[in-house]
Homo-oligomer: A and B are copies of this chain.
């Protein structure tokens, strides 16, 4: 990298500068963060980086790049999970529409964290241990079925059939039933059917009915419970329609609308300077929303008696922790002019130190642990904050002391 910079910077650049660049490392950097998978709210820092100014500036874009899309797609996945309910199996299948192979791997990984169950990306399975599902090539092409050869193809495993290559009712479903029943006699078991076009909810009900009748007629009890999978440009709206119309869908594959996040295609996390040489500082701007909260902060999540978080509170590092059951005076962002009193039933410090003096200093959780933590963190939210339509805004507040500092710094620089 240094050699490259040497090749593009003017020849007048002093050698000492490149020598200096070569000495840079993260040995003096400390990173605190909320545990990966935690629900976070706007304006609350979820990562705090301390270290030599030049080094932490060099980390800015890298950290934002790693955090922004990951958080966005995990959040999008969590929304799909909330809409689908806990029982439906959600499959990520966005590989073909992601930003190249590695963008796709990020999508698989963070969709899994957000609550998806599996991916169609086998490499994500190999690299991250995410369960994956692959389907055999389409079943029903209108040609007569050569059963022995099919059986041979499926010799390795159970199978799922895609029903709507041509026409579900006239071709796909009858063919599937014939093949699945015949293979049943040879000892194989169909693990599902998939629909990829048309009115998915309606068709799922018709198919369930046919499977039920077939199962009863041929005395194959498991037949009526064959999972029905759907795909085809599934969006949040599709999931709402499924639940409104009722459906017999068991597995939902989401691709484009998961990985490209069309409802909000980007997340705008920022990385701001809040303290230099021990002195808190802030970004003054005429745009109130872009103003930063100065100083190194400790973040607390306050819980109510029902166990739901009701407020995130930023305090200066040197302030004592708020205590459970004790009344606090706080200032809520957006209405800083007035104080509010709150009494948390319990208090959770959100940040942990993950990296200190150039070393990871906290065991990093496995992907499965992160996924579980995300689901737990989401499930703790009060339904009024968690609902997708018109959720109640979650209050974020600062302590009186932090508010005082903010006011002082703002006045000092005017």
Where the two chains meet, the residues of A that have a C-beta atom closer than 8 Å to any C-beta of B are: 1, 4-5, 8-10, 12-14, 17, 57, 61-62, 64-66, 68-70, 73, 95-107, 122, 125-126, 132, 137, 142, 155-157, 165-167, 197, 256, 259-262, 265-269, 283-287, 413
Contact = CB atoms under 8 A, between A and B. Distances in A.
Copies of this polypeptide in the complex = 2
A156 B13 contact: yes
Given A100-B103, A101-B102, 14 more contacts: A1-B126, A4-B125, A17-B156, A64-B96, A65-B98, A98-B99, A99-B100, A142-B413, A165-B285, A166-B284, A166-B286, A260-B266, A262-B262, A262-B266
A171 to B, nearest CB: 10
Given A101-B65, A106-B100, A166-B285, A157 B260 contact: no
B265 A65 contact: no
Contacts of A57: 137
A12 B158 CA distance: 12
A36 to B, nearest CB: 15
Given A96-B68, A101-B66, A286 B106 contact: no
A95 B65 contact: yes
Given A8-B125, A157-B9, A142 B100 contact: no
A116 B269 CA distance: 25
A176 B61 CA distance: 25
B95 A99 contact: no
A156 B5 CA distance: 12
Contact of A104 (B65, B97, B260, B287): B65
A70 B266 CA distance: 18
Contacts of A122: 5
Given A156-B17, A284-B166, A96 B65 contact: yes
A57 B268 CA distance: 38
A126 to B, nearest CB: 4
A69 B100 contact: yes
- The 10 lowest CB-CB distance pairs between A and B, nearest first, are A99-B103, A102-B102, A103-B103, A260-B265, A99-B99, A97-B266, A100-B106, A64-B96, A4-B126, A256-B266
A256 to B, nearest CB: 5
A296 to B, nearest CB: 20
Contact of A106 (B65, B103, B266, B269): B103
A53 B142 CA distance: 19
A97 B267 contact: yes
Contacts of A166: 284-286
A169 to B, nearest CB: 11
A187 to B, nearest CB: 11
Nearest to A413: B142
Contacts of A104: 65, 99
A105 B104 CA distance: 14
A149 to B, nearest CB: 14
Given A17-B156, A413-B142, A98 B126 contact: no
Contact of A103 (B102, B125, B261, B265): B102
A96 B61 contact: yes
B268 A97 contact: yes
A209 B25 CA distance: 45
A292 to B, nearest CB: 12
A75 to B, nearest CB: 14
A73 B197 CA distance: 27
Nearest to A132: B8
A157 B69 contact: no
A30 to B, nearest CB: 21
